Amino acid sequence: MADNILTSIPDLDYTEQSDYYNPEAFNELNKNRRSCRVYTDEPIPETVMNACMESALLAPNSSNLQPWEFYWVKSKEKRDKLVTYCLNQSTARTAAEIIIAVARRDTWKKNSAMMLQAFEEQDEAKVSESAIYYYKKIVPLAYTQGYFGGLGMIKRLALGFISISKPTPRQPKSIADMRVWAHKSTALACQNLMLAFRAHGYDTCPVEGLDQRRVRKLLELPYSAEICMAITAGKRADNGIYGPRIRFDKDLFIKTV
């Protein structure tokens, strides 16, 4: 059996260095990202749209299985329906563009196969046996839930017994866990997307107040695909931000233990 990819340090002929740091620029970018409710009529260049969506795909994600899809709604007919499905909110109605972030709990098997294919195309010296073993054996074991979640129930019992004697990962052990798994990674990519737009001089707003079922039907998505959020984007209008940012006392949320 290969070494544990999570604990063993592979001996690989590969180095990737980065001396980039710019905390001041990042803090300024982060502080300037606001949820914009009203946009101007200025369009967003297609080059900017593509660059920002590609930035979203650089987000960290679980097992690099990339359980996300981003739908740039360009059709006027679908766009008009989408605004209605977003409850006719001003941020959707005035946006230059709307992107729908979709969490895919069902694409892990296909994406795992693509990881193995990518390994085959690399120099063997740059891929550890533990990584190959992980995608061939561990990923199917972890993410397969079986029909109606039946295998997940068996895993729940097995993991419960194993965890008595040692620390044990408890999830995902159900279809519900897979939904959470997919949405977590997709939300990370959404943050990348919104920061990318701000870096290009545009604003965004994450929208969860929408009719997920109708949006899913509009995009012709399968039942297993779930709407994570809509993200509106455009050039901020003078009245686009409704007030100063409000954050509660940091001690309520940042804990030292």
What value does the mean pLDDT of the chain take? 93
Q: 249 lies in a domain?
A: no
How many CB atoms lie under 10 A from the CB of residue 182?
A: 27
Question: What's the average model confidence in pLDDT over 127-148?
Answer: 89
Judge contact between 174 and 145, C-beta under 8 A: yes
Q: 122 lies in a domain?
A: yes
Q: 83 lies in a domain?
A: yes
Q: 189 lies in a domain?
A: yes
- 130 lies in the same domain as 225: no
Which residues span the domain enclosing 56?
36-106+175-238
Q: What is the pLDDT of residue 125?
A: 66
Whether the pLDDT of residue 185 is over 70: the answer is yes
Q: 62 lies in a domain?
A: yes
Q: 45 lies in a domain?
A: yes
Between 214 and 141, residue with greater pLDDT: 214
Strand 225-234 relative to strand 68-72, pairing: unpaired
Whether the pLDDT of residue 157 is over 80: the answer is no
Q: What is the pLDDT of residue 106?
A: 96
- 42 lies in the same domain as 100: yes
- 118 lies in the same domain as 213: no
Q: 225 lies in a domain?
A: yes
Say how many domains are in the chain. Answer: 2
Contact partners, residue 128, CB within 8 Å, separation at least 6? 2, 3, 5, 10, 12
- 87 lies in the same domain as 40: yes
Render pLDDT for 189-243 as a digit per residue (tens, 0 to 9).
Answer: 999 999 999 999 999 999 999 999 999 999 999 999 999 999 999 999 999 999 9
Which pTM does this prediction carry? 0.91
- 157 lies in the same domain as 188: no
